[in-house]
């Protein structure tokens, strides 16, 4: 399927939702995503072009194991060094190339893969009149997947910037991109950064 904005230019009511571009997933972390450095220049270019129209999410682990609900307790039992009682808080920060744009860019923290879990993000976006979400960040098959599926359910137009999302594995990335392009072709568009910037009027 052709990778393009099939449903036309982006409207003024568009927001860039940048997923979990944190030190937590950069080099040196147990959760490092190797591709993050590859996509960072493109993500930074989009943020710099529309900082006031950017919202970052940050993945924030629980402080201690007993605060992790249900199956998350099993997950963090495998990653105890990522609990906040043991983790240097600097790892939670956005990558410096992105953090410098806050403000006017905004930040929303989340304890799980999806940013929609408590309704606050949807409430904010609806109140701001946002109808379209441009999505970047990571990972394609985890937090981006949770973000995109929630946005589809809520009725947003969703545009994935194909050269500004990443995963830990090529297999997971490719499988998720195939899913987006085929099973959700009426609700999810994928387009490269250059086309997206041309199709998103400033102001």
Q: Structure tokens of 185? A: 């072709």
Q: How far apart are CA 92 and CA 32, in angstroms?
A: 13
Determine the pLDDT at residue 152: 97
Determine the pLDDT at residue 127: 97
CATH code of the domain made up of 14-199: 3.40.50.850
Mean pLDDT in runs of 10 for the chain (203 residues)?
84 97 96 96 97 98 96 96 96 98 98 97 97 97 97 97 95 94 93 94 74
Domain residues of the chain, as ranges? 14-199
Determine the pLDDT at residue 202: 76
Determine the pLDDT at residue 2: 64
Q: What is the value of pTM for the model shown?
A: 0.96
């Amino acid at each position: 399927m052709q990778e393009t904005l099939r449903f036309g230019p982006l409207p003024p009511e568009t927001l860039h939702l940048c997923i979990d571009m944190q030190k937590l997933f950069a080099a040196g972390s147990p959760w490092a995503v190797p591709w993050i450095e590859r996509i960072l220049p493109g993500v930074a270019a989009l943020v710099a072009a529309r900082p006031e129209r950017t919202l970052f999410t940050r993945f924030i682990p629980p402080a201690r194991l007993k605060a992790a609900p249900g199956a998350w307790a099993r997950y963090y039992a495998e990653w105890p060094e990522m609990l906040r009682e043991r983790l240097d808080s600097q790892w939670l920060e956005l990558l410096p190339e992105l953090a410098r744009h806050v403000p006017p860019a905004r930040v929303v923290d989340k304890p799980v893969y999806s940013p929609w879990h408590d309704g606050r993000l949807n409430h904010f976006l609806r109140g701001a009149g946002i109808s379209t979400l441009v999505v970047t960040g990571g990972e394609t098959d985890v937090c981006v997947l949770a973000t995109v599926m929630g946005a589809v359910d809520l009725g947003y137009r969703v545009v994935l910037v194909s050269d500004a999302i990443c995963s830990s594995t090529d297999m997971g990335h490719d499988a998720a991109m195939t899913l987006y392009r085929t099973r959700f072709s009426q609700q999810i568009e994928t387009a490269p950064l250059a086309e997206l910037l041309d199709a998103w009027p400033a102001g």
